[in-house]
């Protein structure tokens, strides 16, 4: 089913940026991020879907992919946090890893496993190798995919791995009190992100947020890049409880 966007105003009359000037290269990133940046050649793909945080929700992921029905020439990109909190992280990792038309950036939960701050006993050596291989940033055209976000007032080159994985509010200590980076961000890249749990997807001229809280009983959401539309499937269960104040509602955003 399609899900309405949580819009930050009507941007239909606003000209999109020149892709040639908005494209990013390794030189634009912090050195630690540049090592983990993957630039995609999307000319080889017919369609592109960007999917929110899965968090081990394998049944919902399978359902969403069935609904999207991507062919072998369609690209599916994940915003990270494939793992933890949900019922079967290993199955999700294998599902994405084994498909040539699927890519994921590193999320903060993958980062916790990579640096041994958290553990998942069922993951084997091949799974951990895949997590370590994940880029921190993916880009194509004028699009940028990171897990957390992009600080709106700092140069991209000054934002390290931790920042791109965890950016949410500005200043960062405000958590879910906001204001949020995507309310202030003015490009030039169209940035797709997860990490901030949303009651509905956020869709502005410059930022698209896709973590609609599947593991918390919400939904798993994908954005059809060329059709400019959302597709969501409901969670089959509430796998982990989350306080209401840590799920961002539309009315919490600035008018």
Q: What is the pLDDT of residue 9?
A: 31
Per-residue pLDDT reduced to its tens digit, 58-109: 999 999 999 999 999 999 999 999 999 999 999 999 999 999 999 999 999 9
Instruction: Note the Cα 78 to chain centre separation in Å.
Output: 6
* Residue 173 Cα to chain centre, angstroms: 21
Superfamily of domain 21-242: Metallo-dependent phosphatases (3.60.21.10)
Q: Is 222's pLDDT higher than 90? A: yes
Residue 91: name the closest of 115, 51, 122 by CA: 122
The CA-atom distances, in angstroms, between 149 and each of 133, 136, 251 are: 20, 11, 21
- Indicate if the pLDDT at residue 57 is higher than 50: yes
For every residue of 174-233, DSSP letters joined together read GGGGS-BHHHH---SSEEEE-SS-BSS-EE-SSEEE---BGGGTSEEEEEETTTTEEEEE
By residue count, the chain amounts to: 255
Does the pLDDT at position 55 exceed 80? Answer: yes
Task: Say if residue 170's pLDDT is above 80.
Answer: yes
Q: What is the pLDDT of residue 252?
A: 80
What percentage of residues in the chain have a pLDDT greater than 70? 91
Per-residue pLDDT at 172? 87
C-alpha–C-alpha distance, residues 25 and 28, integer Å: 6
The DSSP call for residue 55 is T
What is this structure's pTM? 0.92
Residue 251 — pLDDT band, cuts 50, 70, 90? confident
Contact 80, 104 (CB under 8 A): yes
Residue 21: pLDDT over 80 = no
- pLDDT of 19 reads 60
- Flag whether pLDDT at 110 surpasses 50: yes
- Please state, in angstroms and rounded to a whole number, the distance separating the CA atoms of residues 191 and 55: 21
Closest CA to 138 of 224, 23, 222: 23
- Tell me which residue of 180, 156, 140 sits closest to 8, measured CA to CA: 180
When pLDDT is averaged across residues 185-213 and rounded to a whole number, the result is 97
Separate counts of helices (H) and strands (E) for the chain: 8, 12
Q: What is the pLDDT of residue 250?
A: 80
Average pLDDT over the chain reads 92
CA pseudo-torsion sign 37, 158, 81, 192: negative
The predicted model gives 189-215 an average pLDDT of 97
pLDDT recorded at residue 13: 39
């Amino acid at each position: 089913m399609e899900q309405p966007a949580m819009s930050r105003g009507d941007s239909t009359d606003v000209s999109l940026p020149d892709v040639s000037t908005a494209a990013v290269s390794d030189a634009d990133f912090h050195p630690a991020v540049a090592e983990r940046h993957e630039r995609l050649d999307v000319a080889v793909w017919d369609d592109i879907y960007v999917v929110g945080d899965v968090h081990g929700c394998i049944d919902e992921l399978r359902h969403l992919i069935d609904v999207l029905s991507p062919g072998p020439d369609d690209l599916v990109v994940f915003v990270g946090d494939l793992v933890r909190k949900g019922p079967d992280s290993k199955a999700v990792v294998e599902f994405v890893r084994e498909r040539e038309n699927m890519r994921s950036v590193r999320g903060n939960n993958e980062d916790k496993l990579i640096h041994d701050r958290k553990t998942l006993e069922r993951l084997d050596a091949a799974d951990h190798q895949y997590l370590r291989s994940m880029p921190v940033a993916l880009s194509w055209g004028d699009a940028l995919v990171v897990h957390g976000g992009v600080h709106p007032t700092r140069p991209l080159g000054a934002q390290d791995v931790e920042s791109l994985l965890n950016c949410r509010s500005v200043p960062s200590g405000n958590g879910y009190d906001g204001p949020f980076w995507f309310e202030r961000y003015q490009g030039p890249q169209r940035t797709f992100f997860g990490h901030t749990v949303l009651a509905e997807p956020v869709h502005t001229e410059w930022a698209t947020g896709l973590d609609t809280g599947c593991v918390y009983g919400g939904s798993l959401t994908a954005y059809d890049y060329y059709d400019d539309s959302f597709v969501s499937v409901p969670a089959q269960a509430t796998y982990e409880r989350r306080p209401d104040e840590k799920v961002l509602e539309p009315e919490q955003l600035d008018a």
